[in-house]
Amino acid sequence: MSRIAVINLATLGLLIGGALTAHLTGHAFLVTLATKAAIFALAGVGLNFALGYGGLVSFGHAAFFGIGGYVTGILASHAMSGQPLTTLPYTMNGTNEMLAIWPMVLLVSGLAALAIGALSLRTSGVYFIMVTLAFAQMIYWFAVGWPAYGGEDGLSFYVRNAFPGVQTMQPLSWFLICAGLLLMTLGFTAVVMRARFGLALQAARRNTQRTVAVGIRPFGIRLTAFVLSAMITGLAGSLYADLNRFVSPAMLSWYMSGEIMVFVILGGVGRLVGPVAGAMLFVTMEHLLGGISDYWQVLLGLVLLGVVLWSPGGIVGMLSGRGRGHA
Amino acid sequence: MSRLLEIAGLQAGYGAVQALFDVDLTVDQGEVVALMGRNGMGKTTTIRTLCRLLPIRSGTIRFAGTDLGPLPAHRAARLGLGLVPEGRRCFAPLTVAENLIVAARPGPWDRDRVEALFPRLAERRRQPAATLSGGEQQMLAIGRALMTNPRLLILDEATEGLAPVVRQEIWSAIAALKGQGLSILLVDKSLREIRAVADRAVVLERGCSIWSGRPASLTAEEADRYLGV
């Protein structure tokens, strides 16, 4: 087994093993903390798809995280109130079934990314960063000014949505759902990045002209990657909404975009389990240091600075030694 | 022999700087044509314009019966232009095998055939391209272009900056490709090798094609005038 495979398994083992241990020793709160890490990791895996593998530095992924959250919250609140979402052209009711919510989340965040990506991918570098940020801020202010779904105060729903055969309010069951989705997405990412599409995406990150010269159009590949990336992050947003049973414009803010980026950079840009390691470290620091001081992010900043300066491959890069961008 | 590539009256350049003023160039099916000239005379510009990486200002490029003028670069590549660009040559983060897979298009060239041409690539299959030597990277770049199953292989300074032994390996590969009937357009400075492999040479001077003929018929005096530094 290669060193990177060991690191991948160890990281995932730490997350899942940690949650199981916490459950067995009766620390339900720590199970929920692990769930939060798994959800943040999923959001990071989504961003890593575009940022790490495709070199598309999106500073607007909170848009998709928030869209996932709002779709979930809106469907759940309509299911709760019994009011249909719309009666035109036909009646559409809310739902509290995760298996119905998730496809909707994937669809809406994918469509949003298609529109945002089609426009922002015409730029690159710092302009791309700014355009993605601008779109996310537009959606943020839209949510703030949308009183039907709580506006600035956000939207609560009191019962976590349902999954067939599972008591989702039970912390370990809920963790296993989130971890399961995380594992499936990691598997999907690993397969895609070894396929011709993923290879072309990584090739285009390094040299657009050389990619064109072998007959590949980078725009199409990048747009597809951006949409897939947004769908994954949107799904994470849906889970985050269910975790808190609450959505608010904070999920859409540029601050959230920055946090998702921190998971990726801390863990290792373009490393398969990088965002998992990054999200785990983030949540752990938030929990341990956040209890000591409200200014714990000063320390987070120092850690981030250290990683960027001394280990650009993040935690995973540091542990695996010098190596390739993905494995 | 049928005509594969026909460039006529080509003008092109970079921004305000015009680099090509009047380039005529043809390649027939199965022919090996060398594009020669001193540094800065427009060889690479000609190739970049041919591959649609630079806009055409005037003139025409017809390839396999199609006018390349309105086509974007990736479409030109799909028509069968297999470019091996000069300089650093591979997709660094990908392995050798992945570099080949990413370029693959249907046709007689596949990984097995590329690895038979360059056995060193087979040995390094799972290694990141960035860790290859310069010569191996060049072999990989040629292999990658072959994986697109090109109708015309375009080599821009394929042997520049390589050790003599490695240069020889690349030249024998080029000769082998010629033997298999592949049409090749190559830019290079070594007249001796060009004389051995090329059917025809075209000399560029200040953005104009000024001489065309069999490389062997280029006199020492002409070679010195056109190619001497």
Q: Which residues in chain B touch residue A194, judged by CB atoms under 8 angstroms apart?
A: 98
When pLDDT is averaged across residues B103-119 and rounded to a whole number, the result is 95
Segment (H or E) for A155? strand A155-156
Q: What are phi and psi of B64, to 5 degrees?
A: 50, 40
Residues 6+ apart with CB under 8 A from B174: B32, B155, B158, B184, B186, B197
The helix-helix angle for A28-48 and A171-194 (nearest 10°) equals 20
Contact A277, A268 (CB under 8 A): yes
pTM: 0.91
Chain B partners of A313 at a C-beta cutoff of 8 Å? none
What would the pLDDT profile of A85-128 be if each residue is shown by its tens digit?
888 788 888 999 999 999 999 999 999 999 999 999 999 989 99
Report pLDDT digits (tens) over B127-165: 999 999 999 999 999 999 999 999 999 999 988 889 999
What is the residue range of A160's domain? 3-253
Check if B77 contacts A (Cβ < 8 Å).
yes
Specify the pLDDT at position A295.
87
User: B216 or A133, which is more confident?
Assistant: A133
Distance CA B158, CA B139 (A): 9
Residues of A in contact with B53 (CB under 8 A): 209, 212-213
Tokens standing for B130?
């960035």
Q: Is the dihedral of CA A18, A19, A22, A24 positive or negative?
A: negative
The candidate with the shortest Cα–Cα distance to A68, out of A178, A230, A201, is A230
Chain B residues in contact with A323 by the CB 8 A cut-off are 128
Answer yes or no: is pLDDT of B191 > 90: no
Report the half-sphere exposure of B177 (CA within 13 A, side-chain side).
33
CA A61 to chain centre: 8
The verdict on residue A315 lying in a domain is: no
Three-state secondary structure call for residue B125: coil
Interhelix angle A98-120/A62-81, nearest 10 degrees: 150
Output the pLDDT for position B229: 56
Q: What beta strand segments (E) does chain B contain?
A: 3-14, 17-28, 32-36, 58-63, 66-67, 81-84, 152-156, 183-187, 200-205, 208-213
In this structure, is residue A311 part of a structural domain?
A: no
Closest A-chain CA to B54: A209
Mutate to test the interface with A, among B54, B68, B74, B148 (most CBs of A within 10 A): B74
Helix A196-206 with B96-103: angle, nearest 10 deg: 100
Q: What are the pLDDT digits (tens) for A281-306?
A: 999 999 999 888 888 889 999 999 99
A212 in reach of chain B (CB within 8 A):
yes
CB atoms within 10 A of CB A255: 11
What's the mean per-residue pLDDT of chain A?
93
Interchain contact A216–B (C-beta under 8 A)? yes
Give the pLDDT score at A320: 86
Q: Per-residue pLDDT tens for A157-207? A: 989 999 999 999 999 999 999 999 999 999 999 999 999 999 999 999 988
DSSP 3-state assignment of A93?
coil
Q: Does A215 touch chain B (CB under 8 A)?
A: yes
Pairing of strands B183-187, B32-36: parallel
User: Which of A199, A209, A212 is the closest to B94 by Cβ?
Assistant: A199
Residue B89 Cα, gap to closest chain A Cα (Å): 8
Residues 6+ apart with CB under 8 A from A88: none
Q: CA angle B65-B66-B71, nearest 5°? A: 165
The closest of B141, B150, B90, B92 to B118, measured between CA atoms, is: B141
| Residue A301 falls inside a structural domain | no
A273 domain-assigned = no
The arrangement of strands across the sheet holding B3-14 comes to B66-67, B58-63, B3-14, B17-28, B208-213, B200-205, B32-36, B183-187, B152-156, B81-84
Query: Two tokens at A186?
Result: 């990691």
CB contacts of A203 in chain B (<8 Å) are: 91, 94, 99, 102
Q: Is residue A127 part of a domain?
A: yes
Interface test with A, best of B52, B94, B127, B151 (most A CBs within 10 A): B94
Both tokens assigned to B3 = 């005509």
pLDDT at A322: 56
Tokens 């597809």 map to which residue?
A224
Is the complex ipTM more than 0.90? no
| Chain B closest-CA separation from residue A216 CA (Å) | 6
Q: Is A321 an interface residue toward B (CB < 8 Å)?
A: no
* Partner residue opposite B102 with nearest CB, options A200, A212, A270: A200
Structure tokens belonging to residue A323: 């190596």
Query: How many angstroms away from the CA of A321 is the closest CA of chain B?
Result: 14
**Nearest chain B alpha carbon to A326:** B93
Copy the structure tokens of residue B76.
């030109």
Q: Do A213 and B73 touch (CB under 8 A)?
A: yes
Nearest CB to B74; choose among A207, A212, A270: A212
**What pLDDT does residue A326 have?**
43
Interface check for A190 against chain B (CB to CB < 8 A): the answer is: no
Q: Which helix (H) or strand (E) holds A246?
A: strand A246-247
Say whether pLDDT at A327 is over 70. Answer: no
Please name the helix (run of DSSP H) or strand (run of DSSP E) that holds residue A257, with its range, or none: helix A254-267
Is residue A146 domain-resident? Answer: yes
Q: Indicate whether A310 belongs to any domain.
A: no
**A213, B78: Cβ pair inside 8 Å?**
no
Report yes or no on A302 lying in a domain.
no
Q: Which helix (H) or strand (E) holds A247?
A: strand A246-247
Residues of A in contact with B51 (CB under 8 A): 213
**Distance separating alpha carbons of residues B34 and B52, to the nearest angstrom:** 20
B122 touches chain A (CB under 8 A): no
Peptide bond into A89 cis (omega under 30): yes
Specify the residue for token string 């298999």: B180
Radius of gyration in angstroms for the set of CA atoms belonging to chain B, rounded to a whole number: 17
Site from A197, A199, A211, A322 to mutate, B interface, most B CB atoms within 10 angstroms: A199
| Structural domains of chain A, count | 1
Helix (H, G, I), strand (E, B) or coil at A222: helix
Cross-chain Cβ contact A214/B148 below 8 Å: yes
Contact A214 B102 (CB under 8 A): yes
A38 touches A278 (CB < 8 A): no
Task: Give pLDDT tens digits for A203-261.
Answer: 999 888 889 999 999 999 999 999 999 999 999 999 999 999 999 999 999 999 999 99
